[in-house]
Amino acid sequence: SLSRREARNSIPMILNNAVNPNTIFANNEMSLQDIEIYGFDYDYTLAFYSSHLHTLIFNIARNILIEEHRYPEGLKEYDYIPNFVIRGLHYDVQKALLMKIDAFHYIQLGTVYRYSSHGHTMKQFMDIFSLPEMTLLSCVNDYFMKHNIDYEPVHLYKDVKEAIGDVHVKGILYRAVEADIEKYICYGEQTHAVLRKLSENGKKMFLITNSPFDFVDRGMNYIVGKDWRDLFDVVIVQADKPGFFNDRRKPFRRVTDNGVLLWDRIHKLEKGKIYKQGNLYEFLRLTGWRGSKVLYFGDHIYSDLADLTLKHGWRTGAIIPELRKEIKIMNTEEYIHTMTWLQGLTGLVERMQVYRDPDSQAVVQEWIKEREEIRSQTKGFFNSQFGSLFRTYHNPTYFSRRLSRFADIYMASLSCLLDYDLRHTFFPRRNPLQHESPFWPEQGGLSAVGIPAQARRTQVSPE
């Protein structure tokens, strides 16, 4: 047909305008020229971990359930495979809803939801560290169902949550990573390059992390070098985010290089020294770093970014490792062809539905059936059960909506900053509303395509 031919003919043009996976995307207009202070989370922001870390967390927590909570030994048969599930290891949404299951769970890449009919609450697990927890919960569910064991879902969830917490709180995870750091940490060189670039351009930097100092120090020594603390004006460990951003009660304590906690009152946050806990209100008072001159990067939409942008006016940057993989999928010829034809087919159905004669309606019904098949196919490009992290069919996911609300910019990793001059201004793409005409092609975001990296790096005179 003509429309299918048109869709096929448009593929070369779209391929030529493929989106660069290293692009920084903007939800709000923001100029790096206005940013004087850069703040960072540590885990999955400065330090990226290999998949071995999730296996480690899963195995330790599974063993804690067995040894300390007296769960069945048979759970040792389960290995860490991040399944995408509704209940146990089975995917059946309709059946789960019809049975009015007390608790159901699903994992969508890095986003996990849990609903309990007891408390009528929905909790979002929005970071990658949640994957081992929800995979373990799914495996225990599966074991109990296979062996016809009665259990209370909320208590099960609490036990799994406690076991995962012990992996962190008891220091088991940190000791294991420190003992074999090359196995678990990656992306060191690019993180070092970003920090060096900011330092050489006179930017102030700070680190706020929930991880303990020994763990951070070992990782940063590996990523940046032994002089990593010289790059940061303030370093805060065991901050207890997101409570750090809201609770005014916890004071700062200084920690020595040997891990000794000092109890002297803190009157100034000094470069080269390590501080523990504290709260953001005291941080703002001691540093004066307020408002839109501060840009803070984190991987967790709620724990890292929400309060900062809503209550304190900081600019925020989200680090989303899955973004790079999704962009590479979207740049493939198969995906472009499928999406182009889906759009064309939708247009045909919309225009031809007005013809009510039997022959026309038969054709329209065939198109509708084909359209539904293609819509399911497009989800399968990313994940066979839940599709893209960012989109469900034509609608943004809940995660995507929260991202646009709380993050001024977002990117796959901090290394994306290396392609931009520190005077660069990010502009959000103007997407037409449903009642507006699309004056500009949807694929034509110049910040993402068509501009070579060298042009973005070029120094531009402020005059």
CB-CB contact of 26 with 409 (8 Å)? yes
Residue in 34, 43, 79, 247 annotated catalytic = 43
CB-CB contact of 414 with 297 (8 Å)? yes
CA separation, residue 240 to residues 187, 246, 273, 278 (Å): 25, 10, 19, 9
CA–CA dist 11, 14 (Å, integer): 5
43 annotated to a ligand binding site: yes
Whether 34 sits among the annotated catalytic residues: the reply is no
| Token pair for 419 | 């392609």
CB-CB contact of 107 with 124 (8 Å)? no
CB-CB contact of 84 with 74 (8 Å)? no
Whether 41 sits among the annotated catalytic residues: the reply is yes
41 annotated to a ligand binding site: yes
299 annotated to a ligand binding site: yes
Residue in 41, 142, 159, 217 annotated catalytic = 41
CA separation, residue 224 to residues 204, 207, 227, 298, 347 (Å): 17, 14, 8, 18, 53
Per DSSP (E only), the strands in 191-340 are 204-208, 234-237, 252-255, 261-262, 274-277, 294-298, 315-319
The residues annotated as belonging to the active site are 41, 43
- Binding-site positions for Mg(2+) read 41, 299
- Binding-site positions read 41, 43, 299
- Binding-site positions for GMP read 43
